[in-house]
Structure 1
Amino acid sequence: MSQTIPLHSDPAFYQLLADSYARLLGRPLVPQAMPLAESTEWLYEHAPFAVLAHNTDPDPVFIYGNKAAQRRFGYSWDEITRLPSRLSAEAPDREERRQFLARVQRLGYEAGYKGVRITKSGQRFMIEEATLWQLLDAGGTLHGQAVVIPRTREL
């Protein structure tokens, strides 16, 4: 039986994140050029910003959350990668979040987003200057959506 690599350690998944981001936004996801394995590890372990990605399920589930995202939302890797992404927002904020995701689907990405999110323990916080983009491979296949959250603040 073969062991699959968790997405946080998978260079191919990192490549999907980084390439789709660069293609849509015209700038690199990781601030400096590094070998692939190093970039994969840096984004997960050391990035000073949160990165989350969810799949294409009808009720999308997070498939990736780097350490910065795990700390901010209060979930472990195993917990965050089982969480429907809609649960990262409180019920009253979910419609606004759904409209935002639909805009991203139409346009490919959106930058400068802010909105209220909720931690595992129920604490509310504001995400600011977030960039959400479509996880599209080179062939144009959609694998989900990802977000970079450079800044948050307590509410």
Structure 2
Amino acid sequence: MSNAIALPWEQEAIIHHSQRILKSFQHWTGNSLLDVSGSPKETAQALFEAPFVLASHGTEADPIFNYGNRQALTQWELTWEEFTQTPSRKTAEEIAQAERDRLLSEAATKGFCYFAGVRITSTGKRFYIQDGILWNLVDEQHQYCGQAAVYSQCKFLVSPD
């Protein structure tokens, strides 16, 4: 594994994307996602190492994850390479797709929304997110460029075997 992938926060594109995530969160919610001072690279590292799960996807017809911090990679049991090739819809079970689609639409319309719900890891483990926030990502010209989600509280569910 190359160092650039082992430490994605060192890549220029991820440093820039990290700034976009933070600025978009501030824009929509009026709050700071992370209290950090320092260079953009230091901020990108702090976001990647933050104690909450953070992921974002792009604007594709079937959106693909383009960012996941260390907590997200651990939660979904994926490497950076695997995560950034995964359609975000694959994190919700088929039965939860309609609710997930509704949330994505609500955030697209309002800028952000709160959510709770069941998601699944890459190995099929189910967990319940309790305190999620989903928001639109906007670029420097305030053009829509994807969505991001963050949460810090979840509970793994026992499978009914």
**Cα distance, 1:136 vs. partner?**
0.7
The question of 1:93 aligning with 2:96 is answered yes
Q: TM-score if structure 1 supplies the norm length? A: 0.91
**Cα distance, 1:137 vs. partner?**
1.8
SS of the residue 2:55 aligns to: strand
- Counterpart of 2:135 (choices 133, 136, 144) is 133
Runs of 4+ in 1 over 3 A off after TM superposition: 5-9
Which blocks of at least 5 consecutive residues in structure 1 are unaligned?
A: none
Aligned to 1:15: 19
Q: How does 1:39-54 map to 2 (within 5 A)?
A: 39-44=43-48, 46-54=49-57
Q: Report if aligned partners of 1:14, 1:40 keep a CA contact under 8 Å in 2.
A: yes
Which blocks of at least 5 consecutive residues in structure 2 are unaligned?
A: none
Q: How does 1:5-154 map to 2 (within 5 A)?
A: 8-9=9-10, 10-44=14-48, 46-111=49-114, 113-154=115-156
Aligned CA-pair RMSD:
1.4
Amino acid at match of 2:134: L
Amino acid at match of 2:15: P
CA distance in 2 between partners of 1:145 and 1:8 (Å): 19
Share of identical aligned residues, percent? Answer: 32
Q: Report if aligned partners of 1:61, 1:84 keep a CA contact under 8 Å in 2.
A: yes
Q: Report if aligned partners of 1:133, 1:145 keep a CA contact under 8 Å in 2.
A: yes
**Equivalent residues, number:** 149
Q: TM-score if structure 2 supplies the norm length? A: 0.88
Q: Report if aligned partners of 1:89, 1:117 keep a CA contact under 8 Å in 2.
A: yes
Q: Deviations over 1:70-111 (max 9, x none)?
A: 101111100010000000001100111001100000000012
**Cα distance, 1:138 vs. partner?**
3.1
